[in-house]
Amino acid sequence: MVDVSKKNPTIRTAETQCIMQMNQEAYNKLKDKQLSKGDALTMAEIAGIMGAKRTQDLVSLSKENNELTAILDSLVPSNFT
């Protein structure tokens, strides 16, 4: 094994994106939090935070990161196209 104890810490970033296609009625229900199974966007945000916190468990060969920052942008666009 290689001794990396003297290696300077590096800043790493990761970015992901999702594109969803749906009809106007489904979009309105999602945006207005009127889906029969609950608030899907809040649950997606929680899942993103949980995934970011468990990066070292989910990505092989990654090290534990005690200074993790997760930024989740708005999941609903301002207009429907």
pLDDT digits 0-9 by tens, 30-78: 888 899 998 888 888 888 888 877 777 777 666 666 666 666 666 555 5
pLDDT the model gives residue 50: 83
pLDDT at 45: 81
Average pLDDT over residues 2-11: 79
> What is the radius of gyration, based on Cα positions, of the chain?
18
How far is residue 72 from each of residues 6, 23, 24, 26, 28, measured CA to CA in Å?
A: 33, 24, 24, 22, 21
Higher-confidence residue of 6 and 72: namely 6
The span from the CA of 24 to the CA of 26, in Å, is 6
What confidence score (pLDDT) does residue 10 get?
75
